[in-house]
Amino acid sequence: MGAIEDLAACVGTWQGTNRLHDPNTGRPEDSECTASMHAVLGGLFLRFDYGWAYQGKPQEGSLLIGRQTLVGNVRACWIDTWHMGDQFMLLGGGEVGGKLSVVGTYPAPPGPDWGWRIELQPEGDRRLHLTMMNITPDGEEQPAVATTLDRR
């Protein structure tokens, strides 16, 4: 079974802790996190919705995931209140070492675009890890978000 099938087994509700590596303060900020995984369009897609807080203010995000069977890769669309605002990011990738790993880019004017990696890794059917990495134009990855969730 691959990461997409493992994630499909994660349909349901989740709760845990979100750690934001805050670029504004240079320190990590932890908050409670709730999440849900939904099968969409008869299971062709998965939607992962999550909520957390930054300095006490509620935040939310959503990742729509689908496998492009003909070309053998995974595509995703990510939106969230804290990082993306009114924009969305398209990401592509696949299954790496038992986890879903997709990468997109975002503009960082006046310099070149930066990268953003999102990984979802189930740990059995009771725990789920969400990791987000910021990627410099030189390819250096820096932690941005680390979330550990347990099934409700």
Domain count, the chain: 1
CA distance readout (Å), 58 to 31, 75, 118, 145: 10, 27, 21, 16
- Residue range 89-100: mean pLDDT, rounded: 92
Q: What are phi and psi of 113, to 5 degrees?
A: -60, 150
Is pLDDT above 80 for 3? no
Strands (E), the chain: 12-21, 28-40, 45-54, 57-68, 73-80, 89-96, 99-106, 114-123, 127-135, 141-151
Looking up residue 113, the CATH number of its domain turns out to be 2.40.128.20
Could you report the per-residue pLDDT of 13-59, keeping only the tens digit for each? Answer: 999 999 999 999 999 999 999 999 999 999 999 999 999 999 999 99
Confidence label for 6 from pLDDT (cuts 50, 70 and 90): confident
Is pLDDT above 60 for 1? no
Distance CA(63)–CA(38), nearest Å, equals 10
Tokens of 22: 């805050």
Tokens of 139: 């390819």
Give the CA radius of gyration of the chain: 15
Distance CA(90)–CA(106), nearest Å, equals 10
Residue whose C-alpha is closest to residue 77's, from 66, 115, 39: 66
Range of the domain at 111: 3-151
Is pLDDT above 80 for 102? yes
Give percent above pLDDT 90 in the chain: 86
